[in-house]
Structure 1
């Protein structure tokens, strides 16, 4: 189990998946600090990040001019990763946080920079196994709902977790 003292940096697709799975409130009962870059908070409308920040569930991270320049340099070096995703990476590096994303290209770059990266399956596992916030059947239903509403979940992991939680 990861240390709850390490913050988690979320990107847009994680928040969208949590919303689609109807487990966003359950997620924020986890004993982690959840951080979101200001540029991602500004773009995230469903769910509205501004509401999650106002409720104290997310903390907004801002950046200096030098940090923005670093992001621009990375974007030129790795064009498959969005500028906003690089802000999530930078926040994770600066805060010594775990980066939560489902974006494959961002995961690769983050690992090259020594950042711990996880996705929605890891987050659900924290809620089910480590903190007992969700039952296995509720987590399986959340996965089905995410997929039904358009989340791009890898088939192998999707099936593995449904089997694990007894709901295939």
Structure 2
């Protein structure tokens, strides 16, 4: 099964809209670096960290070489956090796609020839695989539009809302 590395922002955003458990029903596995798991996945609302592991989240260590690579990424791109760089390193080391809500992480992933996706890609997979009902996805997308902390492109959200709310004849 294909493995994707997630940063904290994607998991937090999905948790905010009660979509985190649905993530693990998709036909993928999801992984995070162990340090990100320990330090950043503290409050995910309805799902705690141990439950994430029970749902199937892989918590992956990085060896000394991986840690050095992460530090070199952070040195070159100081606006990225060490946890951001650890996630990119885990993805690069294993040639796994990256899930991120951060444009700087996405740019680094692309520079490293990695596939990179975000929350809207996950929403699309929920619809494609019929994991989450359309009204539930539409409600979450409307919430994302209204939430000033959500920095997703409104045009892309509206495009998905139009598709989800169109009556199928």
Residue 9 of structure 1 aligns to a residue whose secondary structure is strand
Structure 2 SS opposite 1:8: strand
User: What is the correspondence of 1:7-156 to structure 2 with a 5 Å cutoff?
Assistant: 7-42=3-38, 43-47=40-44, 48-53=48-53, 55-129=54-128, 131-148=129-146, 150-156=149-155
- Unaligned segments of structure 1, at least 5 residues: none
Pairwise CA RMSD? 1.6
Unaligned stretches of 5+ in structure 2? none
* Greater relative contact order (CA < 8 Å, ≥ 6 in sequence): 1
TM-score normalised over the length of structure 2 = 0.88
Distance in 1 (alpha carbons) for counterparts of 2:144 and 2:13 = 6
Question: Is contact 1:41–1:50 with CA below 8 Å preserved after alignment?
Answer: no
In structure 2, relative to structure 1, the CA distance for the partners of 1:16 and 1:25 (3 Å cut) is same
8 Å CA contact 1:19, 1:46 repeated in 2: no
Deviation of 1:109 (Å): 0.8
